[in-house]
Copies of this chain bind each other. A is one copy, B any other.
């Protein structure tokens, strides 16, 4: 089982921990301390031993910042997490603040006296974050003081999990499609072109992609903790816990990469500074400490992580891998949908059972490496909580007459999947069917969109919302995020959202997941992954165009579709998509499931 459903946070511990932290603050003559959720590698996912924010506050979400001062404490979270945070933290000890209403820096300026001293761990904040903070706090001469040893770690003690020690394995060329050596030389050429000596990489996803290695340091994403320095002339250096490296991994990379102990990274930066090298860092991922060791903000060359764009553009091997992974995942999802259809009607299945059963079907493909994120399994009102994560306390029956939303994904060597289906348990209301069909119209508008070169994600986002807007609805999340290749299920730079400024490029894999949420009643979301393709310009057109190919293969609940609300083209899309799903998956399914799929994919 790759997921647990226990209640992880225990607010009763907070009081003591906050008090102990305050004692340390007093001893160190600090007026406050900032605890972020991220670790040295600034990703969305972190290992258990880096869950400092959760240890201190009890908040288990994937983004947030706590500030503890001598007499106050606040946890700052975004819109996704305000409800969850209020449920998880001890409100007597810590105020939960929605960042939309007050930013941490504004709170600090308001709360603290002039010339106060705030401590922070310089390895856990990006240089960009600290510069923004300093700029704001400067107004009140509040000082941000880097504290080398992490104060939470000092307090955590025995109950702190050990650092992960999972093996690091090669991601073979038959999956990666491009040798690490080639990827590295491209980056070295960029350095040459820019006249810089080296670039420091800190992102786990970037390093896994560049080296064609995979690990298991964080849940659900096959990455490992490491740093990389690519040099224009010298050999690329990989700083990693060498004990984790399997012989296969060493063999795979030793030719082109110098393997060094993880801890040595920091001295190496000093050395580069002393040699007067011009070194590139991404100010939004490199920590304040890295920049300090390289000689400070004025010395480093600011440049976006060079792996982000090429990683997002899948090569032909990764693309056929993705297709294979989707077929495999489709069979598991279809078996799950058939099972649910058969068993959920009488209200005897709960959210956890459903999530567990789906994972079991994926397990039975014998190719499942991991799930790609904690399954969102929400029945009735729980489906309206966009980032709902079921646990033994919130677990709820799938009741007849209600909707059930399940958003899940898998990690296979050849690809990462992410799919959401919304299902009717028993008989759905007309209103449910109408909202579902409006969401479906948005989903189809993206799936069928054609768009010229130079289109940004934000230029397509409105297509997914139009039908909902016309009816007075909207949803408060993006329409799509990039997806990695046996890597992170949330991958930059591209997104289909109001703010998505990155250009869409052929080879990118993106989710298409509009939704509609009726608080206290139900949530609807329909998600497939799509691939950006080049499109021969239609004879009569005059522009270079692109289009999407839907990769995900699983039926969309026909019982929830109000046929009358669909245009002819929309009906055609559904029917041909379902025909393709049936045709592709039937050969891979047992007789009973095959029969169920045939019905589920029948023309509208």
Q: Taking beta carbons and an 8 Å cutoff, which residues of A are in contact with B?
A: 431, 434, 448-452, 456, 458-463, 466, 469-474, 498, 518, 537-538, 540-543, 545, 567
Contact = CB atoms under 8 A, between A and B. Distances in A.
Nearest to A472: B541
Contact of A462 (B448, B459, B537): B459
Nearest to A517: B542
A469 B449 contact: yes
Contacts of A458: 458-459
A543 B462 contact: no
30 contacts: A431-B540, A434-B540, A448-B470, A449-B466, A449-B469, A450-B469, A451-B469, A452-B469, A452-B474, A456-B498, A458-B458, A458-B459, A459-B461, A459-B462, A459-B498, A460-B462, A462-B462, A462-B463, A471-B538, A471-B540, A471-B541, A472-B537, A472-B538, A472-B540, A472-B543, A473-B541, A473-B542, A473-B543, A474-B543, A567-B567
Chain A contact residues: over half helix, strand or loop, or mixed?
mixed
A503 to B, nearest CB: 12
A473 B545 CA distance: 9
Contacts of A451: 469
Contacts of A537: 472
Stoichiometry, copies per complex: 2
A542 B450 contact: no
Nearest to A448: B470
A101 to B, nearest CB: 16
A122 to B, nearest CB: 31
Contact of A466 (B463, B469, B473): B463
Q: Which 5 A-B pairs have the closest CB atoms?
A: A472-B541, A472-B538, A472-B537, A450-B469, A452-B474
B518 A472 contact: no
Contacts of A461: 459
A450 B462 contact: no
Contacts of A460: 462
A498 B457 CA distance: 11
A134 to B, nearest CB: 20
A450 to B, nearest CB: 5
A232 to B, nearest CB: 23
B452 A470 contact: no
B498 A472 contact: no
A537 B567 CA distance: 24
A196 to B, nearest CB: 17
Nearest to A454: B498
A475 B395 CA distance: 52
A540 B461 CA distance: 23
Contacts of A474: 452, 543
Contacts of A459: 458, 461-462, 498
Contacts of A473: 541-543
